[in-house]
Structure 1
Amino acid sequence: MKAIPDCMFHSRELACKKPYGAVKAGETVEFSVYPRRERGIQYVTLWVEEDGGQPEAFPMRWYGLAGARDRYSTSFTPDHAGLYWYYFTVDGSDGPVYAMRGYGGRCEILDTLGDKYQLTVYDPAYRPPSWFGEGITYNIFPDRFCRDRMPVQPEGEGVAPRVLHENWDDIPVYQPDGNGEILNNDFFGGTLRGVIEKLDYLESLHVRTIYFNPIFQAYSNHRYDTGDYKRVDPLLGSEEDFQTLCVEAAARGMRVVLDGVFNHTGYDSRYFNGRGRYDSVGAHQSQESPYYRWFDFQQWPDQYGSWWGIYTLPQVREMDESYLDYIIDNEDSVIRRWLRLGASGWRLDVADELPDAFIRRLNAAAKQEKPDALIIGEVWEDASNKIAYSERRRYFQGGELDSVMNYPLRDAILAFLNGGTAEHFAETMECIRENYPRDVFYNLMNVIGTHDTARALTILGVSEEEWHMDRDGRAHYALPPDRLESAQRRLRLAAVIQFTMPGSPTIYYGDEAGRQGFEDPFNRRTYPWGAEDRALLGFYRKLCALRADSDTLARGGLRFLRCEGALLQYERETEHSRLLILVNRGHHAVRTHARAVYAVDMLDGAEFDRADSRGIHVTVPPETAYILRCFGTP
C-alpha cells in the first residue's frame, strides 16, 4: 500500500503520480490528490496542456478516505511525445483554489494560477546508447594533454604560422597583442600519438570514453574555429593517427567521442576564407562561392552574423541544404566520415544554438552509420525545458540528444562544497531526475571541470578577493599550502559525489593530478606529467576502480535520505546491492545512521556494526566522505 503524502499532492510520490517522472507516449499516468476533509470539497479537476496549447480538463472522481484526507483520482494518456504542463483546481466550501507546483514537488495552494508541474513525454521506441553512462569518461584538450615530439611549424593548405612553446610547462599566452586581440595561436604541440602513448594511463583510470575537444584543422589552439572539418589539424597528427588511436583505444575497451562545432566555422577556414589562406573560393571572397549561402551576410563581405559577435567565428545557416549535405547527409559527410574512421559519437558544441531539426537529422544520420552512436549536447541548464532565442527546445522526446553535459550537477556540487546546503543539492538533482527520461538521466556527462570553467581545485580554494585579481596575478597564481590542502579535501568530496551519481563521471584532463587555474586560458594548461599530485591521483584511481566495478553505481536506483546542512546522504541500490553515500562538507563531525546490520567503507575499509533497531550509527568526520556497502536490514 502506498504511503499517504503529508500534503494534497506531491509529484514525486507514487501515491500521487504514477509512474514517476518522465513517461512514454501512450503510457497512462495516474494522478491522485488528497485534500483535507474539512475543506468541504465539491469537486477536483486536473488540467493538462501541451506546451503552447490550451489546458484540457480531466474531472477527478472521489475514491474514498485516506486518513484525515479524501482521495480524488483520474488518469491522462499522452498519445505523442512532447512537453506537457499540469495543475489542479479544487472547488470547496471556501471557493475555488489552485494546486500549483511548489518547492520539492509539493503542491502550493494559491488563489490564482502559479507555476505548473512539468510532464516530459518521450518516444518509447527511442533508446539512447547505454555504454556511455555506464562508464568513465576522460576529457582531453588535444593541444595540452601529451606530445610525442617537439612541435614544428606545420605545413599544408590553409595552415597559418603558429607560436610554438618548447617548454611544456609554460603559461599560455594570455595578454592581447598590439591590436588588442588575444589570438589564441600559441600551441604546446599535443598530438594524437601522444594520446596513444598514454592509453595505458587512461586504462589505469578505467576510462571507457575519451572525449576530445576539437581535433580538426583550425587557426586557434582551442580549435573551435574550424578551418577544415575533414582534416585532422596537422600539428596533432594525421587521419591515420586518428584511426590508429581508435583501434588502440577499442582494444582496451575504450570509445572515442569527437567535438562537433556546427553553429559556426572559422574566419580563417576553407569555407569562409577570410584571410585567403585556402585554395578554395570562400564566402568572404566571392558571392559565387559554393559556401556563400552557408553564412548570414548583412552586407557582403564584412558584415555577417557571428557567434556572440566574435568576428573570427562566422555563424552558419544550419538548415541550408548544401550545408546539411556537407555536414550530415552526404555519404562522405563530416558526421558519417569520422564515425566510419573510428569515432563512436559526437558532442555538439552550443547545442542550444542549433535548430532542433538539424539535431534530429544529425542524430538519424549518425545512427544510420552506427546504430549505437552517441550524440551529446552542450546545454548548461535543465535541458528538458530549455528556452533559447524565445523558442522551446525539444531534446529528449526521441531522436534528438542522447545526453547532455550535466552542468546543473557541477554547479550543485561546487555550491554545496563552498557552503551551500545539502537540501539545495538534493532538490537540484531531483528536479533533473523528475524532468529527464530515465535513460537520459543515467546517460549524462557528469562534469566538474571543462575547458569553459575554472579548474575545480581553484574554485574550491580561492578567496573571494582573489577572484578579482588582474590577469597577471591570475596567470601566476597557485593556492597557498593551507588552502591547497583544504581544496584537495573538498575535491575528493566532489569526486565522490560525481562518481556515485547516475551518469558518466567525466574527468577534465589534469584535474585528477591537481592542476589549478582560473578561466581560459589558465584552465587549459598542460597536463603535469612527472609533477602530478600523487596522493590525489591515487584517490582518483581508487574511485575509478570502485566505479568501474560497481553495477550498483552504473545502473542502480537513487534515493536521497537525510540531506541537512553540511550532510549529504543518499543511497544507490539494485536488487542485489545497496550503497550508502555520506558526505560531510562541514568542519564538525556529524552523527547519522545507516539502514543496515553491517557496512564497510569502500574507500578505506572501515567497518561498522549494528548499533540498535534503526541500524548502524555512523559518525562522519569533518570534510569526509564514506561509500558504505550495506548488508542486511534491521
Structure 2
Amino acid sequence: MTKGVDVDMKMEAVEHKAAYPDLYLRNRNTLGFKIRTARGDVKKCILYYFSRDKTEQKKSAVMTKCCRDEFFDYFLTEVSFSQVARYQKYYFALFFGQEVRYLSAVGFSEMPPEDNYFEMVYANQQNVLNFPEWAKGAVYYQIFPERFYNGDRKNDRPETVDWGTAPSRENYMGGDLRGICEKLDYLRQLGVECLYLTPIFAADFNHKYATTDYFEIDPQFGDKDDLRELVQKAHDSNMKVILDGVFNHTGIHFFAFADILKNQQNSAYKDWYLLTQFPVTVSNACYECVGAYPYMPKLNTDSSAVREFLLKVMDYWIAEFGIDGWRLDVADEVEESVWSLARVRLKEKYPNILLLGETWGSGQRLLNGMQMDSIMNYTFRSAVCDFIAKGSISAAGFANRLGNMLAGYPPEISHIMFNLLDSHDTARFLFLCRGNKKKLILAVALQMLLPGAPSVYYGDEVGLTGDNDPDCRRCMPWGEAEQDMDIKAVYSRLIFIRKENPCIRGGSLAVNVADGQVFGFLRFDWETQEEIMAVVNAGETDAELLAPVLFDGKHSGIFNDNKEYEVITGNTAGFENADMWDYQGVIPFRLMPMEVKIVKGGARK
C-alpha cells in the first residue's frame, strides 16, 4: 500500500478476496469477479487479467457497478475463455477523481503491479454454480399438508378435530396427500411452478419434524401410491415437487434412537447421536437436540454410517417417486460433509434436482457451489417486514439492506433465492400488518418483482392470517365466502406479470427511487430492451415524484391501470443512483398511501 500520499479514496473500504463469492465460476470457462469500494468513492473499476505464463497478453474488462448498500459499492464483471479457466493472474485499477490506484494481492500501488497478483488456479467442476434452470425465478407454493385439504377421511386419526378448529401443537385436522392432489388445478390456475411440502414421512407430532421412519409416508397423509400420483399429476401440470428432508435430527421412536434407549452402551447405534451421558433417557441432559427439544435428538452427521443412511434416503425418494429435490431442514446445523457428498452423488445421477437449504442468516457458507443450490431467504423477509409491516425503516434503509443482500451472492444465485414473506415457522405477514391488506399487497409486489424465486405460504393468497406457530398453521379456507377474493386477484395478477415478463425472472435490477417511504425500482434486460418499473408508497400520505427510466420508449400501466405514461427527457443527474445508470428520462407519478404502480416500457428512441 502506498504511504505518504494524500488521496481521497477510502482504501480501507476496498475488499476483494480471491475466493467465493468475490471470485466464482459461472461455468468452467467463465469467471466472475467482484470488488467492494466505499459508496460513491470509485467512479470506474477495470479488471486486468492474463495467463500465468503469458504476461505480455494482458487483457482488460471494465467492471459494472452492480449494487450498493449504506456504506459500499460493488463492482462486478464476468470473463469467458475459449478453454477451461486456469492459472489466471489478475489485479484491479480503481479510478477516483483524476487519480487511479491499483490493487493486487498485497495491497495498493500507484503504478500497475509487477508481481504479487491475485490468481485463480483452476476451474474445477465441483466449484461451478450449477443449479437447475427451472428454479431460476420459479414461483413456489409451500404446503403444510396437515392443514391444506382433507381428501381422504379414511386415513384421519381417531382424534381428528373439525376442519378450521383453532390450531394447537397437538391437534390434527386431517389434511393429506390426496387433498393436495385434488387441488392441483387450483394451484395451476394460481400460477404455481413448484410445490414445497413440509415433512410427510412417518413421524411424531402434527408437524412431522420428529421422523420415525424415513422410508414410509405417514399413514395420516396416505401412502406411497398417493405420493406417486401427486408427483405425476403435478408434473403433468408443469409443476415441480420438493420434499422436506429432516436430516439434522430424528424422533425418539426412530429405530436407532429406540435401540439406544433399550441397549444403552451396548447399542450398535450409540455413535449415531451426540450422547452426553449414560444411562440415556428422554432428556436433553443425555444428548444434543435441535433447540432444546428432548423429543428431537440430534444426529451425529459426522458419522460415516449416518451420512450413508441419509444419502440413501435422499436417493430413494428421487429414484422411486421422481421428486424434484429437497428442502433441507436446519441445513446450517448439519455437517458440511453431508451436503458436499450429497451434491456430488445426487447431481451426477439427477442433474436437475434442487437442493434448498434452510438458514435464517447469510447463506454464503452453503452457497459456494459445493453444497446448496439455494436457501430460504429470511434476510429478504426481514427487510420487507421492517419496511412494509413495521414501518421501522425508510425506503433508503430498505434499498441498503436489499443491496447488501444481493452483494453477498453472484447474480445467478440471487435469481434462485427462495424469497418468502412467511412460513410455518413465522407469524403470517398479514398478521404482522395487523390485517392491513394494502400493506400485504405492497409486500407481495416487492416479492414478485424483485430478484429471486417467490414463495407463497398456503393461504396467504386468500387472506389467511395468524400469529407464530401454531397459529400460522391454520386450516386452508376453501369456501369462497371464507376467502378474500381481492387479495387472491392481486396474487394471480402479479404472478401473471412475473411469468409474462422475462426481465423479472432473470433480468437486472436498478433502484431508482428511495425517498421517505417511497421505493421504486427497475427490472430490465439490455438485450431484449425490456423494462418493468414498480413504485411503492409505503407511507401514510400521498406522494408526488419523478421516477427515472432506462428506456425512453412507450410505458404503460399493467397493474391497477392501463394508462400510458409520458417519459420526460432531460437532465437526470440528481436522481437516485444516477451515477450507476444511464437514465433516459423520468415519468411523473402520484401515488396514494399504500399504493403500488407497475408500468412496462422498453426500447430507446
CA distance in 1, matches of 2:379, 2:125: 21
Which position in structure 1 is the counterpart of 2:121? Answer: 79
Judged with a 3 Å threshold, the aligned counterparts in structure 2 of structure 1 residues 237 and 17 are, in CA distance, closer, same or farther, namely farther
**1:145 lines up with 2:127 in the alignment:** no
Q: Which of 530, 555, 560 is matched with 1:599 structurally?
A: 555
Aligned ranges 1:528-539 → 2 under 5 Å: 528-530=477-479, 531-539=482-490
Q: Which of 339, 342, 356 is matched with 2:318 structurally?
A: 339
Q: Which of 287, 291, 296 is matched with 1:308 structurally?
A: 291
Q: Which of 333, 337, 341 is matched with 1:361 structurally?
A: 341
Judged with a 3 Å threshold, the aligned counterparts in structure 2 of structure 1 residues 324 and 374 are, in CA distance, closer, same or farther, namely same
User: For residues 72-131 of structure 1, what are the alpha-carbon distances to aligned partners after superposition, in whole Å with 9 as ceiling and x for unaligned?
Assistant: 9996333368xxxxxxxxxxxxxxxxxxxxxxxxxxxxxxxxxxxxxxx99663411121
Aligned ranges 1:179-258 → 2 under 5 Å: 184-258=169-243
User: For residues 251-286 of structure 1, what are the alpha-carbon distances to aligned partners after superposition, in whole Å with 9 as ceiling and x for unaligned?
Assistant: 00011111111111011323312xxxxxxx455544
Opposite residue 287 of structure 2, the aligned amino acid is Y
Judged with a 3 Å threshold, the aligned counterparts in structure 2 of structure 1 residues 153 and 506 are, in CA distance, closer, same or farther, namely closer
CA distance in 1, matches of 2:77, 2:264: 50
Opposite residue 325 of structure 1, the aligned amino acid is E
Opposite residue 121 of structure 2, the aligned amino acid is D
Which position in structure 1 is the counterpart of 2:407? Answer: 434
Judged with a 3 Å threshold, the aligned counterparts in structure 2 of structure 1 residues 409 and 126 are, in CA distance, closer, same or farther, namely closer
User: For residues 44-69 of structure 1, what are the alpha-carbon distances to aligned partners after superposition, in whole Å with 9 as ceiling and x for unaligned?
Assistant: 6747xxxxxxxx51453447xxxxxx
User: Contact 1:514/1:533 (CA < 8 Å) preserved in 2?
Assistant: yes
CA distance in 1, matches of 2:236, 2:135: 17
CA distance in 2, matches of 1:521, 1:310: 16
**1:578 lines up with 2:551 in the alignment:** no
CA distance in 1, matches of 2:531, 2:101: 40
**1:617 lines up with 2:588 in the alignment:** yes
Q: Which of 256, 274, 277 is matched with 1:296 structurally?
A: 274
Opposite residue 33 of structure 1, the aligned amino acid is L
Opposite residue 566 of structure 2, the aligned amino acid is R
Which position in structure 1 is the counterpart of 2:444? Answer: 495
> SS at the partner of 1:317?
coil
Which position in structure 2 is the counterpart of 1:128? Answer: 131
Which position in structure 2 is the counterpart of 1:68? Answer: none
Give the C-alpha shift of residue 289 in structure 1.
3.8
Judged with a 3 Å threshold, the aligned counterparts in structure 2 of structure 1 residues 611 and 136 are, in CA distance, closer, same or farther, namely closer
CA distance in 2, matches of 1:80, 1:562: 42
Judged with a 3 Å threshold, the aligned counterparts in structure 2 of structure 1 residues 284 and 582 are, in CA distance, closer, same or farther, namely farther
Which position in structure 1 is the counterpart of 2:503? Answer: 552
Judged with a 3 Å threshold, the aligned counterparts in structure 2 of structure 1 residues 77 and 560 are, in CA distance, closer, same or farther, namely farther
Opposite residue 587 of structure 1, the aligned amino acid is E
Which position in structure 2 is the counterpart of 1:168? Answer: 163
CA distance in 1, matches of 2:126, 2:511: 28
**1:456 lines up with 2:390 in the alignment:** no
> SS at the partner of 2:295?
coil
Judged with a 3 Å threshold, the aligned counterparts in structure 2 of structure 1 residues 626 and 151 are, in CA distance, closer, same or farther, namely farther
Give the C-alpha shift of residue 425 in structure 1.
1.5
User: For residues 287-321 of structure 1, what are the alpha-carbon distances to aligned partners after superposition, in whole Å with 9 as ceiling and x for unaligned?
Assistant: 44443321111223221111122100101110212
> SS at the partner of 1:168?
coil
Judged with a 3 Å threshold, the aligned counterparts in structure 2 of structure 1 residues 45 and 547 are, in CA distance, closer, same or farther, namely closer
CA distance in 1, matches of 2:454, 2:130: 20
Q: Which of 284, 305, 310 is matched with 1:322 structurally?
A: 305
Q: Which of 25, 32, 43 is matched with 2:93 structurally?
A: 32
User: Contact 2:513/2:521 (CA < 8 Å) preserved in 1?
Assistant: yes
Opposite residue 92 of structure 2, the aligned amino acid is F
- 610-619 or 283-292, which moves further after superposition? 283-292
User: Contact 1:23/1:122 (CA < 8 Å) preserved in 2?
Assistant: no
Gaps of 5+ in 2: 1-7, 15-35, 48-62, 64-74, 80-84, 570-584
User: Contact 2:44/2:96 (CA < 8 Å) preserved in 1?
Assistant: no
Judged with a 3 Å threshold, the aligned counterparts in structure 2 of structure 1 residues 21 and 612 are, in CA distance, closer, same or farther, namely closer
User: For residues 228-256 of structure 1, what are the alpha-carbon distances to aligned partners after superposition, in whole Å with 9 as ceiling and x for unaligned?
Assistant: 11111100010111111000000000111
Give the C-alpha shift of residue 35 in structure 1.
5.5
CA distance in 1, matches of 2:148, 2:204: 19
Which position in structure 2 is the counterpart of 1:527? Answer: 476
Backbone CA RMSD of aligned residues: 2.9
CA distance in 2, matches of 1:563, 1:74: 41
Give the C-alpha shift of residue 30 in structure 1.
4.6
User: For residues 313-361 of structure 1, what are the alpha-carbon distances to aligned partners after superposition, in whole Å with 9 as ceiling and x for unaligned?
Assistant: 1011102121111111xxxx10001111121101111111011111111
User: Contact 2:151/2:175 (CA < 8 Å) preserved in 1?
Assistant: yes
Aligned ranges 1:12-91 → 2 under 5 Å: 15-16=44-45, 19=63, 20-21=75-76, 30-34=91-95, 46=103, 56-62=105-111, 76-79=118-121
CA distance in 2, matches of 1:72, 1:528: 69
Judged with a 3 Å threshold, the aligned counterparts in structure 2 of structure 1 residues 153 and 628 are, in CA distance, closer, same or farther, namely closer
CA distance in 1, matches of 2:96, 2:556: 44
Judged with a 3 Å threshold, the aligned counterparts in structure 2 of structure 1 residues 400 and 152 are, in CA distance, closer, same or farther, namely closer
**1:265 lines up with 2:244 in the alignment:** no
User: Contact 2:557/2:565 (CA < 8 Å) preserved in 1?
Assistant: no
User: For residues 558-595 of structure 1, what are the alpha-carbon distances to aligned partners after superposition, in whole Å with 9 as ceiling and x for unaligned?
Assistant: 11122122111111111221111111111222222342
Judged with a 3 Å threshold, the aligned counterparts in structure 2 of structure 1 residues 73 and 580 are, in CA distance, closer, same or farther, namely farther
CA distance in 1, matches of 2:397, 2:440: 19
User: For residues 447-496 of structure 1, what are the alpha-carbon distances to aligned partners after superposition, in whole Å with 9 as ceiling and x for unaligned?
Assistant: 001111101001012xxxxxxxxxxxxxxxxxxxxxx3xx1001000000
Which position in structure 2 is the counterpart of 1:371? Answer: 351
User: Contact 1:150/1:189 (CA < 8 Å) preserved in 2?
Assistant: yes
Opposite residue 516 of structure 1, the aligned amino acid is T
CA distance in 2, matches of 1:266, 1:131: 34
CA distance in 1, matches of 2:456, 2:108: 50
User: Contact 1:32/1:73 (CA < 8 Å) preserved in 2?
Assistant: no
Judged with a 3 Å threshold, the aligned counterparts in structure 2 of structure 1 residues 73 and 171 are, in CA distance, closer, same or farther, namely farther
User: Contact 2:140/2:194 (CA < 8 Å) preserved in 1?
Assistant: yes
Q: Which of 415, 419, 425 is matched with 1:446 structurally?
A: 419
Q: Which of 383, 396, 399 is matched with 1:412 structurally?
A: 383
Judged with a 3 Å threshold, the aligned counterparts in structure 2 of structure 1 residues 122 and 308 are, in CA distance, closer, same or farther, namely farther
Which position in structure 1 is the counterpart of 2:33? Answer: none
Q: Which of 551, 560, 568 is matched with 2:519 structurally?
A: 568
